[in-house]
Structure 1
Amino acid sequence: MHNIFPFTAWIRKYRWSFLPKDLLAGLTVAIVLIPQGLAYALIAGLPAVYGLYASMVPLLIYTFFGTSRSLGIGPVAMDSLLVAAGLGAIASVGPENYIAMAILLAFMVGAFQFLLGLLRMGFLVNFLSKPVISGFTSGAALIIMFSQLKYLLGTDIEGSNQLHAIIWNAFGKMADLNPFDFGIGLIGILLIIVFKKWNQKLPYILMVVILGILAVYLFQWVDKGVDIVGEIPKGLPEVVLPSVSLNSIMELWPIALTLSLIGYLETISIAKGIEDKMNGDQLDANKELVALGLSNMTGSLFQSYPVAASFSRSAIYYEAKSKTNLATLFTALFVLLTLLYLTPLLYYLPKAALAAIIMVSVYNLIDFKYARELWKYRKDEFFVLLATFAITIFIGIMEGIIVGVVISLLLMVYRTSNPHFAVLANIKGTPYYRNIRRFESDALVRNDLLIVRFDAQMYFGNSGFFKSRLLNLIDQKGPELKAVILNAEAINYIDSSAAHMLRNLIEAMYERGIHFFIAGAIGPTRDILFSSGLMELLPKECLFVETREAVSFFDDPGKKSELQDKVALQRNSLGNKGYSS
């Protein structure tokens, strides 16, 4: 039962003493989630009430299927922007069916996540490297911030997914600026910053919401043109099946797949970060994928758009010391009460106040520190981050992450095809053999012996590199060279192409009168040496446990003991059923 319904693990151990903390945590998160949900729905291009719809049923489902007690599921800024960017790029999505497509998108995102979870494919997010995610989120954060200028300035600014276009459109509308909207937004930003620095435990988002509503209502700023949320439909959302058509599915599936992976990556990274700080949580990545998928699919039946985990709300659950997933259920119930009874109180909520909340919240997504670290220590990965960031803000959201992943994969391929290749020598006065470039004056280099180390698996992508480097070093040694020793400690795999290359290379060395020895090969590598037929070409005396043993044998062939021979030649006798160590 626990594998299918994770809630059975904690509900059996639940104690009444847990209830106050779960209730307090649920209420605290709801206070933040309700205004955030309204604001993020606007980012997605949806009416504000859809942010509340996305803050209810998905949380209820996650309560029973999630494996983290402190994960704040619901609408988030990043996914909201991706919804707007993805749907905005589809020509057939007009205003009349925009909401229907957003709801269908939630179902498709959930279906992808659910299927990937069942197939245990959570590892796919590993292809989204941290530089790509950092560049993408920083660029998206800037677009989110500047997309709120139309609410902050109180004027109708044409939207765009390109930063320069947003800024250009905003400059063109500066003459139409509403000073009341601008004042509300600016004061809201300042108040949030001040309240956060003064006391982070204060419900500063709720305070800005209340102050904004009171100011608009008491001073009748609606008459001054202040843009407000207005009437929010009271009551529960209707249960409606998403409108599905083959044409819609074909248009939405690339966006849905991207959102499913991004949403899962956000969720699992936040959950793992919290798990490291908490005792008792046993996060299951694939179960989280299933839980997120079920939350999105079920939520879509209740008019929710795609959801994921929020860092800020997850941090609140953690700080409030929620004991179980019941805290998430309480948050959903508080949102339910708001939809049933409290929506009239939000009528005068100025959109400029929501813009202030969004702008301050997403600013934390811009990771300056990580970019500086990459520039200082890893300039190749800094280029990946910078390229992803630039493409995201100047070309488009979807293009940014796709190109970032491609560049990241190309960098990985380049690294594996040009791995570290070291020439070793004995360090004076020690039994150690190390890179001669690191120990120049202390390395005892011999003209009759070439010792090399290859720090990667051997496969078709780098076999040519290995062959050319080794032949070049052999030529540099000249006719005095009598033997080559390959330190294979770092080689954990040899594919058929590399094995074929090694066979040809060894034959070429034998023709030149050069012996070839292998030292330090681990069990799986030894298995491949035997299964690929290479050991039919090499004498059994060529395998050694350590480099120094190979050198001793080269100097005195009688020194290799039977025990050394047995250990060096030990291999897996079960074929492909397992690996020897």
Structure 2
Amino acid sequence: MLKRYFPILEWLPVYDRQTLSSDLIAALIVTLMVIPQALAYALLAGLPAIVGLYASILPLFAYAVFGTSRTLAIGPMALVSLMTGAALIEVAAPGSTVYLEAAITLAFLTGVILTLMGLFRLGFFANFLSHPVVSGLLSASGVLIAASQLAGLAGLDASGFTLITQLSNLFSHLDGIHWPTLAIGLVSVTLLQLFRRSRPRLKSWGMNARYADFLVKLGPLFVVALTTAICWAANLPAFGVAVVGEVPSHLPPLGVPSSDLGVWRDLLVPALLIGIVGFIESVALAQMLAARRRQRISPDQELIGLGVSNIASAVSSGLPVVGSLSRTVVNFDAGAQTPAAGAFAAIGVAFVTLYLTPLIRFLPIATLAAIIIVSALTLIDIKTLKRTWRYSYGDAAAMLATIALTLVQGVEAGVIAGVGLSVGLYLYRTSRPHSALVGRVPGTEHFRNIQRHQVESSERVALLRIDESLYFANARYLEDTVYGLVAEHPEVDHMVLICSAVNLIDASALESLEAINLRLKDSQVTLHLAEVKGPVMDRLKHSDFLQHLTGQVFLSTYAAWSGLRHGHSPSSGSRDQGRTPAKKDAG
């Protein structure tokens, strides 16, 4: 039981020197990478840069204790930072004490919600966002994030959390472009892109692939060091170039959430949305990497791990945190073996926070904006949109609607729309279940759609295969399908519902089956069931439907075909396929 809630007890007892060495190397690489990202993502949320470092210390220790992924790297993430800023701007003014308190409150609320979801095993809620909708949300968020940093890249004072607002504010301030700042920003973007595209060239020069990837990942750190050095040497702040400025050199102070109940109420829905989006992205990434090493993660325990990590972030004056895509991939590629690698990275970040913050005093804001822009552009996935459009117009329409709403109304509206569209598409598809009249493939016991295959069929026996579970949304559709079939084929004496794909029959669907049974009885058509699964049969036994059924429950479609096509019931020798015993044994 303890290992279930404290996964650290699984790997800590077998922790050895070789694992320690691998984790330390991975931690060093992640530490170098996390510093510029944490600073940038805090600014993206409208918070002081140091808050990003605060959110990269204690949460990593918490996840090492409660998380199940061996390689997931916890910390600030671009999309969540954008959602955080959009939520906070509604309750407080950026730069105020209330704004920081609201950020702490948001992290705390997110943590509590995720932890409770984990304790109640509600990880399945992640399934309410389909992959096309998530892809659309990420693509639109990438555009929003990049657009939100154009003002910082050019030294303008313009902001917004929808694309229309961002572009409107940007164009209205174009006459205030600060050219030295823009030059630094463009140089930073150019260098970051060159680093990203240098991997093939480095490999062509004979460099080991692992070392080439390592150098590419350190690109942001190099750009930060270069532009900071230039800014310091040329004293660019004196010429109006915005920099990070003085950063406190101490460990995170105790975070105190807001005492205003109105703030808690206003942040409740954003906290839920941040938690769901963060959980979906984190678990999908963790599962993908765990599969490569033949490991497993527990989605419900991941909810607890992420929840406690967010509570830890709130306690240490941080912002909401999730699993970071870029840092997790680097952590995995660097050879991290256990969550201890994250804890060691947290120690590295704490060391930087204590002793090296004076070095980032002259770090240009434009450089951090460039890092965010280049990172955000990787979220835009045009290929998935094209592929989805070719495969399914419905999914593509949901994806496009999510993108449009996210760009026009903001990330929160996009998430809500994504959930609504995902659930709506599911309900629409399952409310009109595919069904097919089937016939026997000659010389076999296999049955296939009569419209797709050359099969044997009987005018007196209709074999209708239902390819969906039966529940309230499609119960009436099933009735209409059966009645329509009987009306089109007045010669039918027996209707067999083949339930091989039916995993559930809820109360509404049961009432529909009872109505079908009575209606067919009035039409002198006998209703039968075939291939009813065990769990479904168990539930039917708790009703009186089987007692009122005019026909039989057959173990297989072939048994129904053999017994009914000549217009007589099965012989006593095959009675175990028939009505009374089948009610006990079918499925």
Does the alignment reach a TM-score above 0.5? yes
Match for residue 511 of structure 1? 522
Q: AA paired with 1:101?
A: A
CA contact 1:545–1:564 (8 Å) conserved in 2: no
Note the alpha carbon deviations across 1:340-397, whole angstroms, 9 max, x for none: 1101110111111111111111212122222112100111011111111100101122
Distance 1:262 1:178, change over 3 A: same
CA distance in 2, matches of 1:560, 1:373: 54
Please state whether the residue corresponding to 1:241 is helix, strand or coil: coil
CA distance in 2, matches of 1:43, 1:71: 22
Pairwise CA distance, 1:314? 0.5
Q: AA paired with 1:99?
A: L
Q: AA paired with 1:211?
A: L
Note the alpha carbon deviations across 1:121-158, whole angstroms, 9 max, x for none: 2221111222221121211111110100111111212x
CA distance in 2, matches of 1:454, 1:191: 58
Pairwise CA distance, 1:174? 1.9
Answering whether residue 561 of structure 2 is matched by residue 551 of structure 1, we say yes
Q: AA paired with 2:281?
A: E
Q: AA paired with 1:490?
A: A
Match for residue 446 of structure 2? 432
Pairwise CA distance, 1:227? 1.3
CA distance in 2, matches of 1:488, 1:75: 48
Pairwise CA distance, 1:435? 1.0
Please state whether the residue corresponding to 1:12 is helix, strand or coil: helix
Match for residue 207 of structure 2? none
Q: AA paired with 1:219?
A: A
CA distance in 2, matches of 1:44, 1:94: 11
Pairwise CA distance, 1:196? 2.0
Answering whether residue 163 of structure 2 is matched by residue 163 of structure 1, we say yes
Please state whether the residue corresponding to 2:15 is helix, strand or coil: coil
Match for residue 496 of structure 1? 507
Match for residue 408 of structure 1? 422
CA contact 1:120–1:286 (8 Å) conserved in 2: yes
CA contact 2:532–2:586 (8 Å) conserved in 1: no
CA distance in 2, matches of 1:425, 1:481: 14
CA contact 1:545–1:568 (8 Å) conserved in 2: no
| Counterparts of residues 399-478 of structure 1 (less than 5 Å) | 399-439=413-453, 442-478=454-490
Match for residue 204 of structure 2? none
Note the alpha carbon deviations across 1:245-302, whole angstroms, 9 max, x for none: 32222121111111122222222111111101124x4312222211211111122121
Q: 2:390 pairs with 362, 371, 376, which one?
A: 376
CA contact 1:496–1:532 (8 Å) conserved in 2: no
Distance 1:92 1:211, change over 3 A: closer
Match for residue 331 of structure 1? 345
CA distance in 1, matches of 2:241, 2:333: 36
Distance 1:463 1:323, change over 3 A: closer
Match for residue 105 of structure 1? 106
CA distance in 1, matches of 2:580, 2:283: 43
Distance 1:569 1:41, change over 3 A: farther
Q: AA paired with 2:560?
A: A
Answering whether residue 18 of structure 2 is matched by residue 13 of structure 1, we say no
Match for residue 82 of structure 2? 81
Note the alpha carbon deviations across 1:205-236, whole angstroms, 9 max, x for none: 11111111122122332233211111111111
Answering whether residue 283 of structure 2 is matched by residue 265 of structure 1, we say no
CA distance in 1, matches of 2:139, 2:288: 20
Match for residue 57 of structure 2? 56
Distance 1:97 1:559, change over 3 A: closer
Match for residue 542 of structure 1? 552
| Counterparts of residues 198-213 of structure 1 (less than 5 Å) | 198-199=198-199, 200-202=213-215, 203-213=218-228
Q: AA paired with 2:426?
A: M
Higher mean Cα deviation, 448-457 or 44-53? 448-457
Higher mean Cα deviation, 562-571 or 132-141? 562-571
Pairwise CA distance, 1:512? 2.6
Answering whether residue 243 of structure 2 is matched by residue 228 of structure 1, we say yes
Answering whether residue 26 of structure 2 is matched by residue 25 of structure 1, we say yes
| Counterparts of residues 304-319 of structure 1 (less than 5 Å) | 304-319=318-333
Higher mean Cα deviation, 362-371 or 99-108? 362-371
Distance 1:299 1:431, change over 3 A: closer
Pairwise CA distance, 1:566? 5.4
CA distance in 2, matches of 1:92, 1:301: 22
Please state whether the residue corresponding to 1:411 is helix, strand or coil: helix
CA distance in 2, matches of 1:284, 1:430: 44
CA distance in 2, matches of 1:572, 1:59: 56
| Counterparts of residues 245-256 of structure 1 (less than 5 Å) | 245-256=260-271
Distance 1:317 1:435, change over 3 A: same
Note the alpha carbon deviations across 1:491-525, whole angstroms, 9 max, x for none: 22222332222223222222332222222112223
CA distance in 2, matches of 1:570, 1:315: 57
Distance 1:153 1:243, change over 3 A: same
CA distance in 2, matches of 1:229, 1:213: 10
CA contact 2:98–2:258 (8 Å) conserved in 1: no
CA contact 1:523–1:570 (8 Å) conserved in 2: no
CA contact 1:299–1:305 (8 Å) conserved in 2: yes
Give 5+ residue unaligned stretches, structure 2.
Answer: 200-212
Higher mean Cα deviation, 456-465 or 339-348? 456-465
Match for residue 353 of structure 1? 367
CA distance in 2, matches of 1:509, 1:135: 47
CA distance in 1, matches of 2:270, 2:371: 27
Distance 1:10 1:508, change over 3 A: closer
CA distance in 2, matches of 1:469, 1:558: 25
Give 5+ residue unaligned stretches, structure 1.
Answer: 574-578
Q: AA paired with 1:451?
A: L
CA contact 1:487–1:519 (8 Å) conserved in 2: yes
CA distance in 2, matches of 1:190, 1:485: 68
Pairwise CA distance, 1:39? 0.2
Distance 1:284 1:555, change over 3 A: closer
Pairwise CA distance, 1:4? 3.6
Q: AA paired with 2:277?
A: I
Q: CA RMSD of the aligned region, Å? A: 2.1
CA distance in 2, matches of 1:30, 1:141: 24
Distance 1:560 1:216, change over 3 A: farther
Give the alignment's TM-score, normalised by structure 1. Answer: 0.93
Pairwise CA distance, 1:430? 4.0
Match for residue 34 of structure 1? 35
Answering whether residue 162 of structure 2 is matched by residue 149 of structure 1, we say no
Please state whether the residue corresponding to 1:3 is helix, strand or coil: helix
Distance 1:139 1:564, change over 3 A: farther
CA contact 1:163–1:394 (8 Å) conserved in 2: yes
CA contact 1:93–1:101 (8 Å) conserved in 2: no
Q: AA paired with 1:454?
A: I
CA distance in 1, matches of 2:106, 2:147: 25
Match for residue 576 of structure 1? none
Distance 1:250 1:402, change over 3 A: same
Answering whether residue 206 of structure 2 is matched by residue 195 of structure 1, we say no
Distance 1:565 1:368, change over 3 A: same
Q: AA paired with 1:517?
A: H
CA distance in 2, matches of 1:110, 1:121: 14
Pairwise CA distance, 1:554? 1.5
Give the alignment's TM-score, normalised by structure 2. Answer: 0.92
Q: AA paired with 1:237?
A: P
Distance 1:92 1:249, change over 3 A: farther
CA contact 1:108–1:256 (8 Å) conserved in 2: yes
Distance 1:426 1:167, change over 3 A: same
